Structure 1
């Protein structure tokens, strides 16, 4: 890494909201577009979008990124903001603090993931709230109206796209995490991206239901690589990359195939990082390993102290919290984790660092994407890399009436309700 290139990128690469919030910072917080473009430029590459549910996950990911010289994304979902100490409104502040503390020089995007729209009435609230998260330093967002009908999904995105800064990373979605049911199709993906293109909106990523499962236990067939590649190829003219949700539950071989054979540049990782920070055993799928009595298998001397782990599990039992809902322990217990001895805190961070470094270098092929990102920023001379594609579609063909008629003619299966967080 060239220190000179970092300094050049730092001078022009931070978006205006980042400069306003952190005027004296040396953290290179960038648009999500920068990470996407760096992965595309390297080829057969995706980078991590680590759900920073707690401060230890964020620190471990940043240290791994620096070691791998990789541009990365730190994110939090809208729903996670209700049960984690990290929220959409403080995540940029947490990342900026750690970057300056640790001397992190790689580019880092700050992503508000799964900004969900459950019903049309939510759009008005979203139009007011979305600018507020950008006011705090967010540099990228995912609009997730995927559980609504296809026409409402597109119309919601069209309503909300204007309140997303043009320089920011923008993700849209057509499928929640729900395994083998309601798999996404090229037809519905193209419908959404074409409709946005008609009005000059170019999402950087699209998230699919491509067979992935969520969280704790492996089930179903996992990510459908061929289906993913087919959908991405159908969108090539529109410049939209893939965002892979639910990587926990898929082994490294499958994730390598996603990086090598599709146009995926963003890979969400949440549950695995949380469990690893606590010292829970995980397999190559990133799934927590359970004991015979159905409890998480905590490794003695790893992650949390044994005494604090016992306190956590006892509290969870009292509250009736089991399995994947252990994620709800982040908010009530992060203060207790930070109160542990320095060696225990360090081993929590180191465990995440080792896991993320292996993903970035040996699975995602993201090593040295930081240098590519510097060059992109310096070449643009700006924090804004612009859209990846020009307008192709004719707006008159995408009126609300025609959108609803097109959607009605499509045969799609949304499947059962999915999960929002991984």
Structure 2
């Protein structure tokens, strides 16, 4: 079965959320709720949807081509640090859906694609007040799924922030929540912390599709081989089983393919974020099996001749980074000042940038994430629901009277998890 034909036509008619149909009334792109993608992965079993951070247009193009080639449902996302109001990418919360829709129509993409606002961080009361204004504008711009990340806050404030912002999120939208700030082996998430967050949300009729954990990984260039703690992830997912929530795996760059296969096989994870690796690959840098950029003997990135950007463009990018005093982890900030320069390269160069991403992503989808041929399953979820909204997976089993604001604060006192070091851990 392929994601074409009468089923695709019907899914296009009923499966696009209202904001998408309003923005793109004549589109043939099947932009869907994140819920649909999660349901497709669950239906296949032990499958991870590749959630690609579209830091530049070449990444988005390459991922869409790979997804079509693999017949896989996929997610295109951008995080607040990457594409919020203070960002380091030209792709942002407000233009990402437009870019994806345009590329889907240009390339003839027929697989379902969710548009995800990743890591929408809420760190304080001002962030929460801003979110109540900003989040609706993101959905007006075509977002179909969101990750509310208040994991920087204490457990009670994390839960309360999730409760406070939820009325701004459409019920049909994919929803991700997070416990434990992503910061490597420090401040690992615990079963009690995860249960506290999900039980509190459940009591208020909020049923997230995904939960993200600090399960030992990091964002960006991974210097440690500690990586994802598979057993910790499995233990937390097992404890949350009756709440029917899937896992979202962050920070995949720097983790071996074998470890990512373990996450697919042994946990309830259905979403895996890939960001830094795709950026580096599009530029033409040498990466290892799992997307970590390689360094030469002098500690510099290795540019593969004839791949990605031109050698002259790469020299200009390195010189710019040097002029700013940027370290290797800061190279992500090259995205914004160089987007237009990269788009102004010859067609052959632009095509090889996207093709390099396509080849890497196709291999991830088919050999690591096991999400090939999930596009028909996503379409099936739409047709079964008869709607763009497949509805929640869970129902309320917690007593709201036990999860009032005062009782949330009281309950949180008993949580003693180590939150790890303070600092800015945004991607």
- Which range, TM-score by smaller chain? over 0.9
Deviation track 1:77-115 (CA, whole Å, cap 9, x = no partner) reads 011011101000100000000000000000000000010
- 1:419 matched to which residue of 2? 425
Q: Tell me the CA shift for residue 345 of structure 1.
A: 0.8
Paired residue for 1:132, among 134, 137, 140?
137
Choose from 54, 75, 78 the match for 2:77: 75
User: 1:360 matched to which residue of 2?
Assistant: 365
Structure 1 position 214, deviation (Å): 2.6
Deviation at 1:218, TM superposition (A): 2.9
Shift of 1:377: 0.3
Q: 2:52 aligns with which of 50, 62, 79?
A: 50
Matching of residue 236 in structure 1 with residue 241 in structure 2: yes
Q: 1:22 aligns with which of 7, 21, 24?
A: 24
- The answer to whether 1:210 aligns with 2:215 is yes
Q: Which one of the candidate residues 370, 380, 385 is aligned to 2:390?
A: 385
C-alpha distance in 2 between matches for 1:180 and 1:106: 36
Report SS of the residue matched to 1:111: strand
Aligned equivalents of 2:367, 2:20: Cα separation in 1: 31
- How far off is 1:215 after superposition? 1.9
Once residues 180 and 187 of structure 1 are traced to their aligned partners in structure 2, the CA distance between those partners, rounded to angstroms, is: 18
Deviations 1:168-200 (A, max 9, x none): 000000122211111101110010000000010
Q: Could you say which residue in structure 2 is the equivalent of 1:174?
A: 179
Instruction: Please list every run of 5 or more consecutive structure 1 residues that lacks an aligned counterpart in the other structure.
Output: none
Structure 1 residue 125 displacement after superposition: 1.1
Cα RMSD, aligned residues only: 0.9
Give 2:68's aligned residue: 66
Give the superposition deviation at 1:122.
1.7
SS at match of 2:295: coil
Say which of 9, 12, 23 aligns to 2:11.
9
TM-score under structure 2 length normalisation: 0.97
Matched residue, 2:165: 160
- TM-score, normalised by the number of residues in structure 1: 0.98
**Cα distance per residue 1:315-353 (max 9 Å; x no partner):** 111111221110111111011111111111111001000
Q: Is the 8 A contact 2:225 2:255 kept in 1?
A: no
SS of alignment partner, residue 29 of structure 2: coil
Counterpart of 1:412 in 2: which secondary structure?
A: coil
Q: Within the alignment, does 1:40 sit opposite 2:35 as a pair?
A: no
Work out which of the residue numbers 110, 113, 117 in structure 2 matches 1:108: 113
Residue 124 (structure 1) shift: 1.2
Per-residue deviation at 1:293? 1.3
Question: Deviations 1:350-400 (Å, cap 9, x if unpaired)?
Answer: 100000000111100001100001111011110001000010000000011
Give, in whole Å, the separation in 2 of the partners of 1:217 and 1:204.
Answer: 27
Residues matched between the structures, number: 421
> Per the alignment, in what secondary structure is the counterpart of residue 118 of structure 1?
coil
Shift of 1:221: 1.1
